[in-house]
């Protein structure tokens, strides 16, 4: 059975895309897959909110555009920045129509401010904006009879000419692990959409959930799809030092927006010595400031002092952080929070045009796995949910149009072979996968992290290549599991990222090579 559209990933980008298409044309058949349950992905964890110009007495479209360009450090596509900022209100209204609610003061949105923004413009729902959006979109998408949702299904590879032995230079769907059946199935589709999110798991410390292993990026790389800007990895300055259930917990920038201060182990405020904007300087500057402070002192964390924020405000505006800290024995506002920087957001990814189409016909990429030109060398806080909404909308319109273009006939898809190579009998040595994953994370953190050097990048490339060769052997000899699939993607993307990092010869945005200072 050939689907009209296969959407791989069910965060804000994949779901928004699917809802738009399903609403626009109820006759189209859509299949959505997610690696874990439908709600698990980066979207659910977004705390700060969505950047949208609201208060026209103080703010303006021009100011938001300028802030985005400044954060991107000269590397943004200014045309993209302009239309994303201009289309923001329309997309926000749509989200509200679908059921999302955002905090208000009287009749106006209660706007927050985050690093790099010159005005208050962050629309949010307490400190659980992402969770709320995810739940609203999930409920909405489930209301369409033409949408099939397959949870616990893992993308392995995109189906291309390589598999179909054709020369149309298209994408024809994907091979996918059905985790329940423990087999690899073929899902053919006229249009395939990657919305697989980021790859924070490449690093030892990441704010991303464990699903964020860059699977879409890995599959696109193997399909020879153009990718760019991978080395622009944003580190969030303030993640809670102690992991909870193996996950890192983020302390949103909005907390610093509300007045919290960063202090070293002598309880001195240090950010103002680094940048006049202090705690609210762009993320890359704050993350480097903290990392440098950590290198200069004995403790491997700094303090986030929120004592200027009242207990009532903590409970009202940041209830999840308040509760989580309490569960860790940190009583706000009196106790300072121990924080570290952690890999947070991939500004680069699958290179797409202004309608989110990739260099491979029939393949779109939306959300964090794409590289649209909006973020340049550094994403402005709260611009990524916005980017996902704007580009999912554009992709949906373009994709519906492209279904009227000449496409392969149904019998072409039927002839595409089933997945080959699943008859290996050896059992994967899970411990190997775990150790290799940790080794890769250690290399990425030490050599391809916040501070890089020319020699460090070379060393990382060699060591990553060794891991890549080992993973190839495991891949060739074993049944493909989720863990092996993820490791295969992580090592490919780590390699590409490190290669691209060596091509960048000046420091820009989040990219910082100590040899170029
Ligand atoms: C802690 C945290 C806080 C954040 N706060 C903000 C904020 O305040 N404002 C803001 O604008 N941005 C924020 N961000 C960034 C933003 O949340 C993400 O960029 C955005 O949600 C990404 O959405 P997405 O749809 O691209 O991907 P995701 O929401 O990450 O969804 C990815 C989907 O892909 C699926 N997937 C992955 N691999 C596979 C596979 N192999 N097979 C099948 N499915 C797969 C996953 O199951 C999931 O459904 C935050 C991010 C984090 C982690």
Name the packing angle between helices 430-447 and 482-503 (round to 10°): 20
Residue 420 lies in a domain: no
Distance 42 CA to ligand 1 centre (A): 3
Pocket mutation for ligand 1, best pick of 11, 129, 481 (most atoms within 8 Å of C-beta)? 11
Catalytic-residue membership of 283: yes
Residues 17 and 124 in one domain: yes
Residues 439 and 366 in one domain: no
Residues 44 and 191 in one domain: yes
**Which residue in the block uniquely carries the two structure tokens 């954060």?**
71
Q: Which residue has its alpha carbon closest to ligand 1 atom 3?
A: 46
Residue 474: CATH number of its domain: 1.20.58.100
Residues 15 and 69 in one domain: yes
Residue 217: CATH number of its domain: 3.50.50.60
Residues 71 and 201 in one domain: yes
In angstroms, rounded to a whole number, what is the distance separating the alpha carbons of residues 286 and 199? Answer: 21
CB-CB contact of 139 with 24 (8 Å): no
Residue 144 lies in a domain: yes
Domain end position, chosen among 309, 341, 373: 341
Q: Round to the nearest angstrom and report the end-to-end CA distance of the chain.
A: 56
- Return the closest-CA partner of residue 334 out of 342, 343, 325: 325
Residue 419 lies in a domain: no
Residues 59 and 197 in one domain: yes
Index of the ligand 1 atom closest to the CA of residue 197: 27
Index of the ligand 1 atom closest to the CA of residue 134: 29
Residue 9 lies in a domain: yes
Residues 197 and 213 in one domain: yes
Residues 125 and 20 in one domain: yes
User: What is the span of the domain harbouring residue 440?
Assistant: 430-511
CB-CB contact of 299 with 248 (8 Å): no
Residue 307: CATH number of its domain: 3.90.700.10
In angstroms, rounded to a whole number, what is the distance separating the alpha carbons of residues 237 and 450? Answer: 10
- Return the closest-CA partner of residue 194 out of 219, 216, 223, 171: 216
In angstroms, rounded to a whole number, what is the distance separating the alpha carbons of residues 276 and 254? Answer: 18
Residues 82 and 203 in one domain: yes
Domains held by the chain: number:
3
pTM of the full predicted structure?
A: 0.95
Residues 356 and 475 in one domain: no
Residues 218 and 272 in one domain: no
Residue 424 lies in a domain: no
Q: Which residues have C-beta atoms less than 6 Å from ligand 1? A: 8-14, 33-36, 40-43, 45-50, 129-130, 154-155, 195-197, 207-208, 211-212, 215, 250, 345, 367-368, 382-385, 388
pLDDT at 175: 97
Residue 410 lies in a domain: yes
Residue 422 lies in a domain: no
DSSP output for 234-288: EEEEEEESS-BTTB--B--HHHHHTT-EEE-TT--B-HHHH-TTGGGS-HHHHHH
Distance 38 CA to ligand 1 centre (A): 12
**Which residue in the block uniquely carries the two structure tokens 């002192």?**
297
Q: One digit per residue, pLDDT tens: the chain, 517 residues?
A: 799 999 999 999 999 999 999 999 999 999 999 999 999 999 999 988 999 999 999 999 999 999 999 999 999 999 999 999 999 999 999 999 999 999 999 899 999 988 889 999 999 998 899 999 999 999 999 999 999 999 999 999 999 999 988 999 999 999 999 999 989 999 999 999 999 999 999 999 999 999 999 999 999 999 999 999 999 999 999 999 988 877 789 998 889 989 999 999 999 999 999 999 999 888 889 999 999 999 899 888 999 999 999 999 999 999 999 999 999 999 999 999 999 999 999 999 999 999 999 999 999 999 999 999 999 999 999 999 999 999 999 999 999 999 999 999 989 999 999 998 655 455 667 778 999 999 999 999 999 999 999 999 999 999 999 999 999 999 988 888 899 999 999 999 999 999 999 999 999 999 999 999 9
Residues 477 and 506 in one domain: yes
Residue 278 lies in a domain: yes
């Amino acid at each position: 059975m050939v689907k009209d559209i296969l959407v791989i990933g069910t965060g804000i980008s994949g779901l928004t895309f699917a809802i738009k298409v399903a609403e626009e044309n109820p006759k189209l058949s859509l299949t959505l897959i997610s690696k874990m349950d439908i709600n698990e992905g980066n979207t659910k964890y977004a705390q700060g909110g969505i950047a949208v110009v609201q208060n026209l007495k103080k703010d303006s479209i021009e100011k938001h555009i300028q802030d985005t360009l400044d954060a991107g450090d000269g590397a943004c596509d200014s045309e993209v920045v302009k239309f994303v900022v201009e289309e923001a209100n329309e997309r926000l209204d749509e989200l509200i129509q679908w059921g999302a609610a955002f905090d208000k003061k009287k009749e106006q949105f209660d706007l927050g401010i985050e690093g790099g923004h010159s005005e208050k413009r962050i629309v949010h729902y307490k400190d659980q904006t992402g969770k709320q959006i995810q739940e609203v979109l999930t409920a909405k998408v489930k209301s369409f009879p033409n949408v099939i949702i397959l949870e616990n299904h893992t993308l392995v590879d995109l189906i291309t000419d390589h598999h179909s032995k054709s020369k149309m230079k298209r994408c024809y769907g994907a091979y996918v692990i059905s985790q329940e059946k423990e087999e690899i199935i073929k899902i053919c589709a006229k249009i395939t959409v990657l919305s697989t999110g980021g790859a924070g798991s490449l690093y030892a410390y990441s704010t991303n959930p464990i699903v964020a292993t860059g699977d879409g990026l890995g599959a696109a790389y193997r399909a020879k799809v153009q990718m760019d800007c991978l080395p622009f990895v944003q580190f969030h300055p303030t993640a809670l030092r102690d992991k909870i259930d193996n996950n890192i917990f983020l302390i949103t920038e909005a907390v610093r927006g509300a007045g919290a201060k960063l202090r070293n182990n002598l309880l001195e405020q240090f950010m103002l010595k680094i940048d006049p904007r202090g705690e609210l300087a762009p993320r890359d500057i704050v993350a480097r400031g903290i990392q440098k402070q950590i290198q200069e002192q004995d403790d491997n964390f700094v303090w986030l002092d929120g004592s200027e924020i009242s207990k009532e405000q903590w409970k009202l505006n940041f209830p999840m952080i308040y509760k989580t800290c309490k569960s860790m024995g940190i009583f706000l506002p009196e106790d300072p929070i121990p924080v570290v920087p952690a890999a947070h957001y991939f500004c680069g990814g699958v290179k797409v045009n202004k309608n989110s189409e990739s260099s491979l016909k029939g393949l779109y990429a939306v959300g964090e796995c794409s590289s649209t030109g909006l973020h340049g060398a550094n994403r402005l806080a709260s611009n990524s949910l916005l980017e996902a909404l704007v580009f999912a909308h554009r992709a949906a319109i373009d994709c519906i149009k492209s279904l009227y273009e000449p496409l392969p006939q149904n019998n072409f898809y039927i002839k595409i072979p089933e997945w080959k190579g699943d008859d290996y009998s050896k059992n994967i040595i899970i411990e190997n996968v775990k150790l290799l994953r940790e080794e890769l994370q250690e290399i990425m953190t030490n050599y391809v992290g916040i501070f890089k050097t020319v020699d460090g990048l070379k060393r990382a490339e060699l060591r990553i290549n060794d891991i890549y060769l080992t993973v190839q052997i495991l891949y060739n000899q074993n049944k493909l599991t989720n863990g092996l699939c993820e490791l295969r993607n992580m090592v490919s993307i780590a390699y590409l990222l490190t290669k691209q990092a060596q091509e960048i010869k000046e420091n820009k945005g989040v990219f910082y090579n100590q040899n170029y200072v």
